[in-house]
Amino acid sequence: MSRESERITVVELHKTGMRTADIVRTTGFKQRTVYKIVRRYKETGGTSDRPRSGRPTTATTPENINKVRCRIRRNPEVSMNKI
């Protein structure tokens, strides 16, 4: 079961009126986790992950992959450091 589906299960149990203690027993999550899932659902209306911060990946674009392949074909003995 994915994290997303587990969170949906918690929210659905909460919507049916099940008490937090019963949700904890049923799912095996900690009480704090259940509260957090329900609170986030009430705030955002969803259960999906928040966007992650960080630098976007740019090194493995199709254009860069083709450039590296072309250089390797032209000179197969060149090291990766020199590419």
DSSP state of 17: T
Distance CA 48, CA 5 (A): 9
Total-model pTM: 0.61
Place of tokens 């976007």: 56
List helix spans (H) across 16-61: 20-27, 31-44
Q: What is the pLDDT of residue 64?
A: 87
pLDDT tens digits for range 48-78: 888 888 887 777 888 988 988 998 999 888 8
11: which residues sit within 8 A by CB, 6+ positions away? 37, 38, 41, 47
Q: What is the pLDDT of residue 19?
A: 97
Tens of pLDDT, residues 3-55? 999 999 999 999 999 999 999 999 999 999 999 999 999 999 999 888 888 88
